[in-house]
Homo-oligomer: A and B are copies of this chain.
Amino acid sequence: MRLVVALGGNALSPAGGTGSVEEMRSSLSVAASALAALVTDGHSLVLTHGNGPQVGRLLLQQERAAADVPPMPMDVCGALSQGQLGYLVAQALDNALPRPTRVLSLLTQVVVDGRSAAFRRPSKPVGPSYERPEAQAIAQASGHVFAIQPDGRWRRVVASPRPLRIVEDEPLRALVDSGHVVVAAGGGGVPVVEYRGQLRGVEAVIDKDRTAALLATSVGADLLLVLTEAAQVQIGYGTAAARGLSTMTVAEALGWLRAGEFPEGSMGPKVEACVSFVRAGGAAAIGALSDAAAILSGKAGTRITP
């Protein structure tokens, strides 16, 4: 089978960690073992991943040196993180695989609609959180938009438009066809708009799960596998009546999404991505990284069915 696997942030570095390269390498080596099993079982693999904590750290570094080095816009921050994570992820997976398989990282741009309402209502928090006066000072100096967060602190918010098209989709598919494991569209892809055939980066971040669904369609995947920390999608999450689901139809998923069963910042986009790929004729599942192989054989995780 051809698989598109979306890796959550925790597979890349532990939540609450320092973000050191040693931490990242250690998390990635665990992830790589689980993923290598899929490749040695004969599956073809395209890997994508989040970049939230890594971009957050880049933004903090840029902020601290802003008097001497001009901070980069969000598209370039996305590209920086694709370089960093693409390298670390590819190397970790490569080291877990037998030769001659080679893991490649392809810088990936994703086209979004510049006239999307997402750009009028920036909603996705990025980077560090600040107390109000500091946020105001940075907003004034940079022109960035800040919004108050549930914890009462302020964070920069940017647009999170829907991914429409992967710029490099054709060569990406050719690389997969020729037997390579490819890391692509990290962090949801570098967001660009297209006007008269010209590409231009925009101040946005694209949801990585949405891009994973698009990637699955682009490379003709048989299965979209969204890996996270949870063993299954749950209904009644956090209540006494919580129950894990081994399967869920598209209709059920949409109903529960509407009912707010899946939080927007975590399970929501994963379920949406699976629904969208299943509707496009594919198969999709959500589950724990450590269960990757078991999810494929239907023994773990949550399968989304038509």
Q: How many angstroms between the C-alpha atoms of A259 and B112 in the bound complex?
A: 56
A293 to chain B, nearest CB (A): 23
Within 8 A of B (CB), among A62-88: 62-65, 68-70, 72-73, 75-76, 79-84, 86-88
B-chain residues with CB within 8 Å of residue A178 when the two chains form the complex:
171, 174
Within 8 A of B (CB), among A104-152: 104-107, 109
Which chain B residue has the least Cβ–Cβ distance from A62? B61
Contact assessment for B84 and A109 in the assembled complex, using a CB-CB cutoff below 8 Å: no
Q: Which residue of B20, B75, B83, B104 is within 8 Å of A82 (Cβ)?
A: B83
Residue A245 at the chain B interface, CB threshold 8 Å: no
Q: How many residues of A sit at the interface, in one of the four size bands?
A: 35 or more
Which chain B residue has the least Cβ–Cβ distance from A170? B102
* A interface residue numbers (CB < 8 A to B): 18-21, 57, 60-65, 68-70, 72-73, 75-76, 79-84, 86-88, 90-91, 94-95, 99, 102, 104-107, 109, 167-168, 170-171, 174-175, 178, 180, 190, 192, 197-201
A107 to chain B, nearest CB (A): 4
Given A21-B76, A107-B105, A199-B91, is A86 in contact with B84 using a C-beta cutoff of 8 Å?
Answer: no
Q: How many angstroms between the C-alpha atoms of A68 and B65 in the bound complex?
A: 13
Q: Which residue of B60, B84, B99, B106 is within 8 Å of A76 (Cβ)?
A: B84
Q: Which residue of B80, B99, B192 is within 8 Å of A84 (Cβ)?
A: B80
Contact assessment for A192 and B106 in the assembled complex, using a CB-CB cutoff below 8 Å: no
Given A106-B107, A168-B104, is A199 in contact with B72 using a C-beta cutoff of 8 Å?
Answer: no
B-chain residues with CB within 8 Å of residue A65 when the two chains form the complex:
57, 60-61, 63-65
Q: How many angstroms between the C-alpha atoms of A180 and B73 in the bound complex?
A: 27
Contact assessment for A61 and B57 in the assembled complex, using a CB-CB cutoff below 8 Å: no
Contact assessment for B80 and A109 in the assembled complex, using a CB-CB cutoff below 8 Å: no
Which chain B residue has the least Cβ–Cβ distance from A81? B83
Q: Which residue of B57, B69, B84, B171 is within 8 Å of A83 (Cβ)?
A: B84
The 4 closest A-B pairs by CB, nearest first: A83-B83, A79-B87, A105-B107, A20-B70
Q: Which residue of B104, B170, B201 is within 8 Å of A171 (Cβ)?
A: B104
A154 to chain B, nearest CB (A): 17
Given A83-B80, A107-B106, is A95 in contact with B180 using a C-beta cutoff of 8 Å?
Answer: no
Contact assessment for B180 and A171 in the assembled complex, using a CB-CB cutoff below 8 Å: yes
Which chain B residue has the least Cβ–Cβ distance from A198? B95
Contact assessment for A87 and B190 in the assembled complex, using a CB-CB cutoff below 8 Å: yes
24 contacts between A and B (CB under 8 A): A18-B69, A19-B69, A21-B73, A57-B69, A60-B65, A65-B65, A72-B84, A79-B86, A79-B87, A80-B81, A80-B83, A82-B83, A83-B84, A83-B86, A83-B107, A87-B109, A90-B107, A91-B109, A91-B201, A104-B106, A104-B107, A105-B106, A171-B178, A175-B175
Which chain B residue has the least Cβ–Cβ distance from A67? B64
